[in-house]
Chain A
């Protein structure tokens, strides 16, 4: 089944076309990687898909429903969760509380029920707390549960954000550079975490720079360069694609 269907999405910033007529599918149960040099438009594409930004053209269908024009929290409630390249944690809350916010994504606002401590509010509270604990365990960071997010090491912050996304009970997660700031051990653990996420039945679209990680973990790779899709296919094929090689070599010579 097609989980996410992106068709002809374009997003411009003034004269710059950050995402240029991009189309692709993500199938249920896949880990798909989105790669490309810095500034290729990966994060912008993520924003357009998750309702944080609105594309100028194109459509985004998630589980058969149109997403363009919907607010981000609606996408979350439909089962599409995400993380950010610059982690967006709630610094003055503990890791456990951070994940609890995600766990309550589908609960009612409940001002009234909470103020009066109605049984429904208390039951949802317990459920959210249990979900948060389970996901901190699942991502292997339960020992950080009571640490304030502001005091967490960068690698753990990434995992807390992933746990928070998973706590919303998504069918699909979009992870924007989850390995950035991680050391080698943590990156290896992240590969395991991504596989575990997929095995739990959650489809994954991941932006990643670490080619080793991408080749190892992904079922399919989508390559963007200067806003355009330049290649799409299984890792073995992408590795040999002359356009991809050129794009990455180009980036290296730019840096040097």
Chain B
């Protein structure tokens, strides 16, 4: 049992890396690339929600910020893709810092409210700032990612690029959670008073985690823009933020694997009818509408029971099957 557990991450990594060898279905590879993009966002949200216990209702806005930033950098400024990618992450980080600093100094659910407001504002801004974003029509003609002359235009290449970045993020996040920062996050989640009394700079930790999660969302946005080649404001709504949060909530607390599995499952469900040949439209639709209920329910649970209530519940559920 123990060895299975220790080996599991390596097995998963091998299977994920081998993806393009296991299928040559271009559509499936695209979908799996989208899974990777969501996974990148969820790594950050798993740290923010699952470890530090903070709720964000605006992470889609950071994805949008990253997407438009990289689009503008490559199309309008003609900068190399990697520069736009880094700029997207930096801009999202800055946005996260500006949002987190004032709201995290206050006690209570100010962060949740601030992120909700930011999310609404950003989705308006993406539509209204037409000269920059292309307004409702969106931003098109975004080039594929390219690094040092190599252009990632084949689905397999895009798949590998996205999942390589996900792999790096998961690795760094795993290190982070295994050492002092992870303990500090779990500590402030467990008891803020206890954390303060143990010398933990609780505000500092929350701000750092929030900025980190915003950065990952921004990077995911930059990848998304260049994978799809087109950015539409309808993607970066509060509804998408709720979906992200639901993935983190359903995935459970104190773990990266749980939210990553949830992100994979919930992303695949959206493409159910296309992925399973022969499944009837209606069946797919029923499953998909059920999925919406799950999102709604998990968010209601967060609001009603407070993040700790849900996480406690998930923890208990998670430990049932343990040896």
Contacts and interface: CB of A to CB of B under 8 A. Distances in A.
Contacts of B193: 52, 84, 88
Interface in B143-202: 172-173, 175-176, 178-184, 186-187, 189-191, 193-202
B175 A115 contact: yes
Nearest to B190: A90
Given A72-B196, A73-B201, A101 B187 contact: yes
Which applies to chain B's interface (DSSP): helix, strand, loop or mixed?
helix
A101 B189 CA distance: 13
Interface in A103-124: 104-107, 109-111, 114-117, 121-122, 124
Nearest to B312: A92
B53 to A, nearest CB: 11
Contact of B200 (A101, A115, A122): A101
B254 interface: yes
A76 B199 contact: yes
B315 interface: yes
A105 B202 CA distance: 12
A125 interface: yes
B183 A104 contact: yes
B212 interface: yes
Nearest to A174: B197
A164 B180 contact: no
Given A93-B186, A111-B212, A121 B179 contact: yes
Given A101-B183, A124-B180, A93 B197 contact: no
B199 A109 contact: no
Interface string A80-98: 0111100011111100011
B93 to A, nearest CB: 13
B205 interface: yes
B181 A73 contact: no
A167 B194 CA distance: 13
Contact of A93 (B187, B201, B205): B187
Interface residues of A, number: 44
A109 B205 CA distance: 8
B30 interface: no
Contacts of B173: 115
B197 A81 contact: yes
Contacts of B196: 52, 71-73, 76
A165 interface: yes
B190 A93 contact: yes
Given A73-B199, A92-B315, A105-B199, A114 B179 contact: yes
A79 B70 CA distance: 48
B200 A88 contact: no
A76 B195 CA distance: 11
B204 interface: yes
Interface string A222-239: 000000000000000000
Contact of B198 (A76, A111, A114): A76
A116 B183 contact: no
Given A89-B190, A92-B254, A104-B183, A116 B172 contact: yes
B190 A91 contact: yes
Contacts of B204: 109
Nearest to B204: A109
Nearest to A102: B198
Contacts of A52: 193, 196-197
B16 to A, nearest CB: 21
A77 interface: yes
Contacts of A97: 183
B181 A109 contact: yes
Nearest to B212: A111
Given A105-B199, A116-B175, A111 B208 contact: yes
Contacts of A50: 197
Nearest to A165: B197
A83 B197 contact: yes
Interface string B59-73: 000000000000000
A197 to B, nearest CB: 16
A158 to B, nearest CB: 13
A52 B154 CA distance: 57
Given A111-B212, A114-B175, A115-B172, A89 B180 contact: no
Interface in B37-60: none
Contacts of A102: 198-199
A90 B187 contact: yes
A110 B180 contact: yes
Contacts of A128: 180
A54 interface: no
20 contacts: A50-B197, A73-B196, A73-B200, A73-B202, A76-B196, A76-B197, A81-B197, A92-B254, A98-B187, A101-B184, A101-B194, A101-B200, A102-B199, A111-B212, A114-B175, A114-B182, A115-B175, A121-B179, A124-B180, A168-B198
For the complex of A and B, list the 9 residue pairs with the smallest distance between their C-beta atoms, beginning with the closest.
Answer: A105-B199, A90-B190, A88-B194, A76-B199, A114-B179, A72-B196, A115-B172, A102-B198, A88-B191
